[in-house]
Structure 1
């Protein structure tokens, strides 16, 4: 058994609403083998992992998985459950798993949940799957790993998970943001997180925000500058000075008098800080440890306190207690330290509530000063200190004293944070009692501020050893997002089979006309405020995050395609508006999709992730789209449902409007907003850009969908017609029904790659030119199933009699010429009198099709990539037709615009109607 590939679904997906990892397993020799076929397998597995007996599986109760094991189940399913159990054993709290067949013999996709804040780049999911495979294979082979071996494996996995996890400070901010509904995106395996979207987004890195002053950070990072700045403002600070040489440090000892503190000028976390120094030798040695730049200060009396100030308010305070052990009359100091480190709250670094105590040289020096060594046995109740400094990073503990802080201390700390210029500051104090009023500022100072910390650690407040925990992460989030803001901008998600890109572009155009800076993702790239910033197929989660993370964007319009959804999940948690254009046969045979029902299941994710109270815009003319409202996960009753459609007599529309609902429909040649019994005409069909006077009915459907989405976000109906009139399809929607002229021949360029899209495009051409006056230069993608290619070929055979076929530059897994041969065969079988020519590439195909066309006829060009096709058309002398096709006659018009033929002809040609 081995992993064939592993992919991360970073957001909501077809399996669940949280991130997941999909591991494709090749069972190899275990293919077709069930657990009941292997004698003793179930018992051995349960001996190794007894926690599996609690797994529910499909039974919905503990023991369900054991029943499956005994009755027989495949080893991909076993690997799924072992992976989940391993995850739980290392403290990674996940419960969802699923195993599905891939259609290939012996290959299964094992899907397991991932913690929502785990880095998208985390190695943990892959290592867990590998460990699960190893264990299953070992047990299958007749072995059971010992408890010691299993513990070692788990320890390695736990250590990896801990290294990749965010620290407590960042974790508290993320948790507070999520409780407020603020979107959170973590960058790689760092503690840098983005909270919110677009122009409302904020950045946080531990207890530092994008508004934290760089000057304030630099001041706090220089202990000498901090002390001088505060002293000049009348803040009580210890007397002292900077030393660049040991002799200068000793001279300060003489001037200040013992005891003194020596600390690195630019140090942090209590490293190389020495207290209780009284002799020149001690000071010289302490100076050497600082690396050459030190601050020497008179040591203040009192207890060690840390006060946290956020946005000018004191939100927490803690007394910090240096690392120590308490004797029991039996254990040595070293043994007591080992016992203390066995506390599960202690870990390495800052990943847990407390840090492990280290018996290093610094600890031994402190012990010697107290007359002890690591091997000394302490009397029962005797307290021995292991550090002079009370930092949690050196093993210290904390006691919450927030409710005891005297108003004098509060005002002092507020002043200090403001003087240094920090939005978040940790202020270290030495005071006899934080609950007592401050003594007058007489000299010499015996208590006061000893340090100011930028990016202060929050652990001591979040999980104090004694006292009440303080949700300081929430205080930081409230300061970043005042007034209860959730940090979101309006977001529209657009999916479907055909029309997605056009609808996305139309929505962005309409909303930007309302004064909003729109960010947009489409098949062709990422656009921010009208400027393309990336040219690519940008319909996946990475591109969505590019828009949502841009600080200029005020509204996001996100084309969301099947491929990105299946392979990487959604790039966002919720949208305000979801649009589903249609669901027809395409991409079947890919990514496990075998039917339109499978495709509908994928598209439904966009409907499911419309927030409660948001708007779901659906195509009433499409049966598969209509079926989505009945899916339990869609929860249509919690959303505002808006339909659009071309058939005003559709029973779905009629019933919806009878209940007072809203819809956008085509009626008597107009795009109409309907609410209950009220009808508001918005725009004549003949005036819709790119609809060619109404010949392109699918463009009318796309426009209705876009209007519905824009209205859901507040676009005014009176401005829609003007704004739509400003939409230039040749510029803002190039390659989607774009019309050119080469001499007396029209060239109609479109991106139709499936039967439904080809049929819609050909119907448009037939209405304008007639079925006998159309030529086509066509390529179809090789990654479509043979039956879909055959269906496309049959549509072509029914729609045109002269076709030039060519191949995509990327055959997508097929042999060169294979697609063209299949299409030609199917076309000839459908219509024997068809003229079908195969060309070598798009250049020969287009040129050949133009030669086949007579004056006044049209050439339909289906392309693979827009940029090279546009360049080749320019070489051929093609010029934009400006919406006016070169026609000899009009073949007929939609029944929704009766009597409009002559008027539309005049509008398109600028002359009296012909024919």
Structure 2
């Protein structure tokens, strides 16, 4: 058994609504073998991993997977469940798995859920599946993993999971955002998270937000500047000063008197902080350890407290207790520390709510000061303090005191945060009692603020050892998104087989009329407020995130294609409007899609992920699109269903309107909005740009879909006609039914690449020019299945009598000449008297097609890449035709200019 490939689905997908990993697995020698074929396999596996007995599998109840094992199941399925169990054993909470055949013997796709906040680049899913495969192979070979070896392996995986996991502070913010319905995504494996979309997007890095003052952060990072600034404002702080040399530190000690605190001027997490220093020698030793740039302060009396201020309000307070152990009369201090560290809440770094206690030189020094060593046995109930500082990062614990904070303490902490300009501040105080007023300053300060933290840890408030946990992550999110905002902008998702790009561009054009900045992602690229920022096939999750993450965007219109959905999942969790244009045969044989029904299943994800209360726009004329309305996950949600149709008598449309529903339809040459029995004419089809006087009926369908989407987001009906009139297909939707003129020959450029699209395009040309005036310069993509290429060829043969066939630059896995050869054979078989030429590249193909064309003809150009073709046309002198075809009936002074130019440009004879 081996893994061929891994891919991460980062959002909702065809398997589930959460991220998942898809692994292509080869069973190798276990191909065709079931668990019942290997004597004792099930019992050995359950002894190694008893938790598998709780797995439900398809039965839906505990023990379901065991029943499958004992009844006989294949080993890809076994690897899936072992992978999930390993995940559970290391604390990675996932439950979903599925194993599906790929059609190849012994090759399966194993799908397992991934935690939502796990980095898309994390190696952990692959490591877990690799470990699962190793364990299954061991058991199938008659053995089983030795307990120590398995424990070691689990420990390694758990350590990797802990390194990859978010810390408690970041996790609390993510969880709070999700509870409020705010989109949130972790960036890589960092503590940086992006919350919300577009111009409402915010960012947080642990407990620091994008509105945190950089000046405030720098001030808080310099303990001497912080102390001076607060002192000048009348905030009670310890007397002290900065020392750049040992001599300065000794002078400060002499002036202040002991005990003093010596700490790094720019230190963090209590590192190298020393308290209770009562001699110049103590100060000299600590300063040397710091290595310069220290702060020497008089030590204040009382207990250590941390108060958290968010957006000017105190939201939590905790008393911090330094690391310590309590004796039982038998155990040594070292043994007591081991017991404390066994608490599952403790870990290394900041990934858990508590930190393990490390016996280091500081611990030994503190113990020695009290006459103890790590080997000392403490009496029952005796407390041994292990550190002076109470930081959680050095093993300290916390006790919640939020409800006890005196108003005087609250006032001081709010002032401190404001003085430093911090939206989030962790303020450390040393006070006799947080429930009492702060003692007034009368000569010598005995209690007050000792430090300010600009990116405070939240662990002590989220999970105090004593007292009530405080949801400080929610307080931060509420401050970032006031007034109950969910941080979202209106989003439209558009999918289907044909027309996606056109509907996306039309929808964006209609919505931009409201003055809002619209971001779009299409198969041609990403555009923000009408300006292209990336040229690429931008129909996948990465491009969607580019639009949704742009702080200029106020509305998003996203073309969402099959490939991105299958290979990476959606780039968003929900949309406000979903549009499905049509579903026809294309891309079959790719990504495990074998039928139009499979395609419909993929496209259904867009329909299912329209939010509760959102609008789903469906094509009533397409049977596969109609079927989506009956899917359980579409019906179950409270979506508003809107149909569009070219047939006002469509039974689905009629029934929907009879129930008071809304639809958009073509009626007597008008685009009409219908609600119940009411009909509102919007625009004559003949006036729609790109409809060529109404000949291009597919433009009517695309326009109706776009109007429905725009109206769902508030576009006013009285503005639609004006906005549509301003839509310039040549500039705003280039390469989709775009008409050019070259002398007295027309060129009609389109991206049609499947039978349905080609048939629609040819019907349009026949209405405009007639069936005998069309010449084709055609390429078809090599990654289409042979039967689809043959079907496309048959459509071309029915619509063209003269054609030039050429290959894409990207052959997509086929030998050069194979696609054009197949298409020519199929066309000749259907139309024996066909005039057909095969040539290399679109330049030679277009030149040959122009050579075939007579004055008044139209050359249909099916292209691979718009940019190079547009440049070549400009070089020929072709100009946009403004929607006016050149017909043979028009007067001509002689041979067509396009024909003459083509003959001059012809380089080598075409292969016939």
TM-score (norm 2): 0.97
The reply on whether 1:835 has 2:835 as its aligned counterpart is yes
Q: How does 1:138-217 map to 2 (within 5 A)?
A: 138-217=138-217
Tell me, yes or no, if the aligned pair for 2:439 and 2:446 is still in contact at 8 Å: no
Residues 65-112 of structure 1: CA deviation (Å, up to 9, x unaligned)? 111111111110000000000000000111100000011111100000
Tell me, yes or no, if the aligned pair for 1:503 and 1:702 is still in contact at 8 Å: yes
Aligned residue for 1:570?
570
Rounded to whole Å, the distance in 1 between the matches of 2:689 and 2:289 is 75
Rounded to whole Å, the distance in 1 between the matches of 2:843 and 2:134 is 54
Aligned residue for 1:750?
750
Matched residue SS, 2:296: strand
Rounded to whole Å, the distance in 2 between the matches of 1:71 and 1:425 is 60
Give the deviation of 1:684 after TM superposition.
Answer: 0.7
Matched residue SS, 1:630: coil
Tell me, yes or no, if the aligned pair for 2:249 and 2:296 is still in contact at 8 Å: yes
Aligned residue for 1:600?
600
The reply on whether 1:459 has 2:459 as its aligned counterpart is yes
Residues 341-372 of structure 1: CA deviation (Å, up to 9, x unaligned)? 00000000000010000000011000000100
Tell me, yes or no, if the aligned pair for 1:630 and 1:636 is still in contact at 8 Å: no
Aligned residue for 2:724?
724
Aligned residue for 1:366?
366
Rounded to whole Å, the distance in 2 between the matches of 1:267 and 1:868 is 58
Rounded to whole Å, the distance in 1 between the matches of 2:634 and 2:385 is 60
Q: How does 1:319-358 map to 2 (within 5 A)?
A: 319-358=319-358
Aligned residue for 1:818?
818
Q: How does 1:179-258 map to 2 (within 5 A)?
A: 179-258=179-258
Rounded to whole Å, the distance in 2 between the matches of 1:438 and 1:90 is 47
Give the deviation of 1:876 after TM superposition.
Answer: 2.1
Rounded to whole Å, the distance in 1 between the matches of 2:391 and 2:637 is 54
Q: How does 1:329-478 map to 2 (within 5 A)?
A: 329-478=329-478
Give the deviation of 1:149 after TM superposition.
Answer: 1.2
Residues 101-156 of structure 1: CA deviation (Å, up to 9, x unaligned)? 01111110000001111111111111111111111111111111122111111111
Matched residue SS, 1:415: helix
Matched residue SS, 2:772: helix
Matched residue SS, 1:772: coil
Matched residue SS, 2:460: helix
Residues 38-64 of structure 1: CA deviation (Å, up to 9, x unaligned)? 111111111110111111111121111
Rounded to whole Å, the distance in 1 between the matches of 2:395 and 2:332 is 18
Aligned residue for 2:903?
none
Q: Structure 1 76/887 Cα, relative in aligned 2: closer, same or farther at 3 Å? A: same
Matched residue SS, 2:736: coil
Tell me, yes or no, if the aligned pair for 1:580 and 1:619 is still in contact at 8 Å: yes
Tell me, yes or no, if the aligned pair for 1:269 and 1:391 is still in contact at 8 Å: yes
Matched residue SS, 1:811: coil
The reply on whether 1:283 has 2:283 as its aligned counterpart is yes
Residues 404-424 of structure 1: CA deviation (Å, up to 9, x unaligned)? 000000001000000011000
Residues 558-614 of structure 1: CA deviation (Å, up to 9, x unaligned)? 000000000000000000000000000000000000000000000000000000100
Matched residue SS, 1:771: coil
The reply on whether 1:492 has 2:492 as its aligned counterpart is yes
Rounded to whole Å, the distance in 2 between the matches of 1:193 and 1:615 is 29
Matched residue SS, 2:689: coil
Aligned residue for 2:72?
72
Give the deviation of 1:438 after TM superposition.
Answer: 2.0
**Number of residue pairs matched by the alignment:** 890
Q: Structure 1 696/290 Cα, relative in aligned 2: closer, same or farther at 3 Å? A: same
Rounded to whole Å, the distance in 2 between the matches of 1:484 and 1:56 is 39
Rounded to whole Å, the distance in 2 between the matches of 1:634 and 1:587 is 24
Aligned residue for 1:696?
696
Give the deviation of 1:8 after TM superposition.
Answer: 0.2
Give the deviation of 1:441 after TM superposition.
Answer: 2.4
Residues 515-543 of structure 1: CA deviation (Å, up to 9, x unaligned)? 11000000000000111110000000000
Aligned residue for 1:893?
none
Rounded to whole Å, the distance in 2 between the matches of 1:400 and 1:886 is 82
Tell me, yes or no, if the aligned pair for 1:769 and 1:889 is still in contact at 8 Å: no
Rounded to whole Å, the distance in 1 between the matches of 2:636 and 2:833 is 50
Tell me, yes or no, if the aligned pair for 1:740 and 1:878 is still in contact at 8 Å: yes
Residues 755-784 of structure 1: CA deviation (Å, up to 9, x unaligned)? 000000000000000000000000000000
Tell me, yes or no, if the aligned pair for 1:846 and 1:861 is still in contact at 8 Å: yes
Give the deviation of 1:636 after TM superposition.
Answer: 5.9
Rounded to whole Å, the distance in 2 between the matches of 1:350 and 1:631 is 45
Tell me, yes or no, if the aligned pair for 2:526 and 2:535 is still in contact at 8 Å: yes
Matched residue SS, 2:629: helix
Aligned residue for 1:857?
857
Tell me, yes or no, if the aligned pair for 1:779 and 1:864 is still in contact at 8 Å: yes
Tell me, yes or no, if the aligned pair for 1:491 and 1:576 is still in contact at 8 Å: yes
Aligned residue for 1:42?
42
Residues 294-316 of structure 1: CA deviation (Å, up to 9, x unaligned)? 00000000000000000000000
Tell me, yes or no, if the aligned pair for 1:670 and 1:683 is still in contact at 8 Å: yes
Rounded to whole Å, the distance in 2 between the matches of 1:26 and 1:812 is 24
Matched residue SS, 1:384: strand
Residues 631-688 of structure 1: CA deviation (Å, up to 9, x unaligned)? 0011365100000010000000100011110000001111000011111111110010
Give the deviation of 1:743 after TM superposition.
Answer: 1.1
RMSD: 0.8
Rounded to whole Å, the distance in 1 between the matches of 2:56 and 2:541 is 32
Rounded to whole Å, the distance in 2 between the matches of 1:173 and 1:468 is 18
The reply on whether 1:625 has 2:631 as its aligned counterpart is no
Q: How does 1:502-651 map to 2 (within 5 A)?
A: 502-635=502-635, 638-651=638-651
Give the deviation of 1:692 after TM superposition.
Answer: 0.5
Tell me, yes or no, if the aligned pair for 2:177 and 2:183 is still in contact at 8 Å: yes
Aligned residue for 2:23?
23
Aligned residue for 1:908?
none
Rounded to whole Å, the distance in 2 between the matches of 1:44 and 1:285 is 60
Residues 716-753 of structure 1: CA deviation (Å, up to 9, x unaligned)? 00000000110101001000001111111000000000
Rounded to whole Å, the distance in 2 between the matches of 1:77 and 1:744 is 65
Give the deviation of 1:810 after TM superposition.
Answer: 1.0
Give the deviation of 1:841 after TM superposition.
Answer: 1.3
Aligned residue for 1:897?
none
Give the deviation of 1:291 after TM superposition.
Answer: 2.2
Rounded to whole Å, the distance in 2 between the matches of 1:752 and 1:636 is 35
Matched residue SS, 2:362: helix
Aligned residue for 2:898?
none
Aligned residue for 2:907?
none
Tell me, yes or no, if the aligned pair for 2:516 and 2:554 is still in contact at 8 Å: yes
Rounded to whole Å, the distance in 2 between the matches of 1:493 and 1:813 is 31
Matched residue SS, 2:24: strand
Aligned residue for 2:57?
57
Rounded to whole Å, the distance in 2 between the matches of 1:388 and 1:687 is 81
Give the deviation of 1:889 after TM superposition.
Answer: 5.9
Q: How does 1:636-785 map to 2 (within 5 A)?
A: 638-785=638-785
Aligned residue for 1:106?
106
Give the deviation of 1:840 after TM superposition.
Answer: 1.3
Rounded to whole Å, the distance in 1 between the matches of 2:442 and 2:106 is 82
Matched residue SS, 2:103: coil
Give the deviation of 1:384 after TM superposition.
Answer: 0.5
Rounded to whole Å, the distance in 2 between the matches of 1:317 and 1:879 is 71
Matched residue SS, 2:161: helix
Rounded to whole Å, the distance in 1 between the matches of 2:53 and 2:407 is 57
The reply on whether 1:800 has 2:822 as its aligned counterpart is no
Rounded to whole Å, the distance in 2 between the matches of 1:282 and 1:825 is 94
Extract unaligned runs of 5+ from structure 2. 891-912
Rounded to whole Å, the distance in 2 between the matches of 1:78 and 1:793 is 45
Rounded to whole Å, the distance in 2 between the matches of 1:78 and 1:41 is 11
